[in-house]
Amino acid sequence: MFMKRKTMGALSLAAVMTASLLGGCAMPGIDSGETGGAQQSQAGTAAPTQAETNADGTVTIRVVDWSDGSIQQREKFHKEFMEKHPNINIEYTMLTVDQFKNTIVTMIKSGEGPDLFPIPVGMTLNTALEENWFQPLNPYVSEEFKSQFDPKSFEEGVTHKGEDWYTITEIMPTIQCLFFYNKDVLEQAGISEVPHTYSEFVNACRTITEQSGGQVYGLIDGGKQLNRLDVLARSLAAAAGGKIGATQKVLTDQGRAPYDSDAMKQAMGMLAQLVKDGSVYPDTVNISAPEAREMFAQGQAGFLCQGMWCIAQWGENYPDLNYGVMAVPVPDGMTNTYVQKGELSPWMGLYSQSQHPKEAAEYLMALYSEEYGYQSGCVEDGTFVSVIPSVNEKHMKNQNMKDYYTIADETSKVVPAATMRDEKAYDFYTEVKDIQPSLGAIVQGILSRSITDYESELTKLSDASSAEWKRASEAVGLDFDVFEFPNWDVTRDYTAEDYEALK
The model's pLDDT over 150-182, given as tens digits with 9 standing for 90+, comes to 998 998 889 999 999 999 999 888 888 999 999
Of 77, 80, 64, the closest CA to residue 32 belongs to 64
Terminal C-alpha separation, the chain: 54
- Euclidean distance between CA atoms 385 and 70, whole angstroms: 12
Burial of residue 481 (number of CB atoms within 10 Å: 0-12, 13-18, 19+): middle
Q: Is 416 in contact with 203 (CB distance < 8 Å)?
A: no
Phi and psi at 99, nearest 5°, equal -70, -30
Average pLDDT over all residues of the chain: 87
Give the mean pLDDT of 249-267. 97
Beta carbons within 10 angstroms of residue 340's beta carbon = 25
Residue 45: CB atoms within 10 A of its CB come to 13
In contact, 170 and 396? CB cutoff 8 Å: no
Question: What one-letter code names the amino acid at 362?
Answer: E
Which of 276, 244, 268 minimizes the C-alpha distance to 257? 244
Q: Could you tell me which of 324, 292, 312 has the C-alpha nearest to residue 225?
A: 292
455: helix, coil or strand?
A: helix
In the predicted model, is pLDDT for residue 45 greater than 80?
A: no
SS3 content of the chain, % helix, strand, coil (to 5): 45, 15, 45
Residue 420 exposed, middle or buried by CB count within 10 Å (0-12, 13-18, 19+): middle
How, if at all, do strands 348-351 and 167-168 pair? antiparallel
Lowest-confidence region among 289-298, 334-343, 448-457, 469-478? 334-343
- The band of 111, judged by pLDDT with boundaries at 50, 70 and 90, is confident
- Give per-residue burial for 201-215: e unless 16+ CB within 10 Å, then b: bbbbbbbbbeebeee
In sequence order, the 6+-apart residues with CB closer than 8 A to the CB of 410 are: 327
> pLDDT per residue over 326-340, tens digit each?
999 999 999 878 899
pLDDT in tens, 406-460: 899 899 999 999 988 998 998 899 899 999 999 999 999 999 999 999 999 999 9
| Predicted pLDDT of residue 304 | 98
In the chain, what percentage of residues exceed pLDDT 70? 89
Q: What does pTM read for this prediction?
A: 0.71
